[in-house]
Structure 1
Amino acid sequence: MLARSHRLTRGSDYKAVVRRGRRCAGAHTVTYSMRAADSTAPRFGFIVSRQVGGAVVRNTVRRRLKAVCAEALPDVDEGRDIVIRALPSAANATFADLRDEVTRCLSRKIAS
C-alpha cells in the first residue's frame, strides 16, 4: 500500500494536476502528471467515478491501481504528482492490463 507521504490528499492538488499536468491516455485509464513545487516524494491520487460501477467494483479498481503504483514507486521521479483516472472499461480489466497500461504511462516521462 502507499504510505501517506505518497498520496495526494487535497482536492486542490488533484485539480492542479488534472488541469496543468501532462496526460497519457489508455484504454482503461488516463494518467496525469506534473512536477510538484514543494514535494520531494512522488505522490499519487486516484479518481474512480460511479461510471466505473458500484462501490465494490470501484474499490476493487482503486485497490488494483494503488498496488500498481506501489510496485512502480521506485521508478517514478522525485517531486512528481500523479493522478490516475479510471475509465468505465477499467471495471472489466484484469490486474495485468491495468499494470501494463499504468506502467507504460509512468515510464513515458509524461511530465518533463
Structure 2
Amino acid sequence: MLAKPHRITRGADYRATVRRGARFTGANTVAYVRLNRDSDVVRFGFIVSKSVGNAVVRNRVRRRLKAAAYEVLPRLQSSAAAGPGIDIVIRALPASAQVRWATLHEEVSGAADRFLRRHTTSSRETRRSVTTEGNVRP
C-alpha cells in the first residue's frame, strides 16, 4: 500500500501531470511522468475508467497497479533524493483487465526506467553544453 505522502490526491495535480508530463505508452497502460518542483517526494496517481470493467474489475486493476508502483517506488526515490519530486499518473487501458500482475509491473517499471534514462541523459547533456563562464558551446 502506498503511504499518503506518495499518493496524488488533488485533481489539479492529476491534470498537470497528464497535460505536461512525458507520456509512456504500453499495451495495457499509459504512464504520464513529470518532475514536481513543489515537492521532494515521488507520488503516484491512478486512472481506471469504466471502460476497463465493472467496479470489481476496476478495483482489482487499481490494486495491481498500486502494488507495482509500491515496488518501483524505492528506485524512483533514490534517483529523486537530491532533486525535485516526481509525479506519475498511470491510466489503465481496457486490456489491463485481462493481463497478469507481472505484465502490469513490467509496464510500470519500464515507464519509470525510460523516464529516469531520459531525465538523467538530458540533464547530463545540459551540463556538458554549458561552460563555466555560462556561454553555450557551439
Q: Report the alpha carbon displacement of residue 109 of structure 1 after superposing the two structures with TM.
A: 1.7
Correspondence 1:35 to 2:41 = no
1:2 is aligned to 2
1:96 is aligned to 102
Superposition misfits of 4+ residues, deviation over 4 angstroms: none
* Runs of 5+ unmatched residues, structure 2: 120-138
Structure 2 counterpart of 1:65, which letter?
L
What is the distance in 1 between the residues matched to 2:91 and 2:6? 17
**What's the TM-score, normalizing by structure 2?**
0.79
Deviation string 1:42-84 (CA, Å, 9 cap, x unpaired) is 0000000000000000000000000000011011142000000
2:20 is aligned to 20
Q: What secondary structure, in the 3-state scheme, does the structure 1 residue paired with 2:24 have? A: strand
* Runs of 5+ unmatched residues, structure 1: none
What is the distance in 2 between the residues matched to 1:91 and 1:109? 25
**What's the TM-score, normalizing by structure 1?**
0.96
What is the distance in 2 between the residues matched to 1:6 and 1:86? 19
2:88 is aligned to 82
**What percent identity do the matched residue pairs reach?**
55
Count of residues in Structure 1 that have an aligned counterpart in Structure 2: 112
Q: RMSD of aligned C-alpha atoms? A: 1.0
Structure 2 counterpart of 1:46, which letter?
F
What is the distance in 2 between the residues matched to 1:63 and 1:7? 13
Q: What secondary structure, in the 3-state scheme, does the structure 1 residue paired with 2:31 have? A: strand
What is the distance in 1 between the residues matched to 2:17 and 2:8? 10
Larger Rg: 2
What is the distance in 1 between the residues matched to 2:75 and 2:40? 14
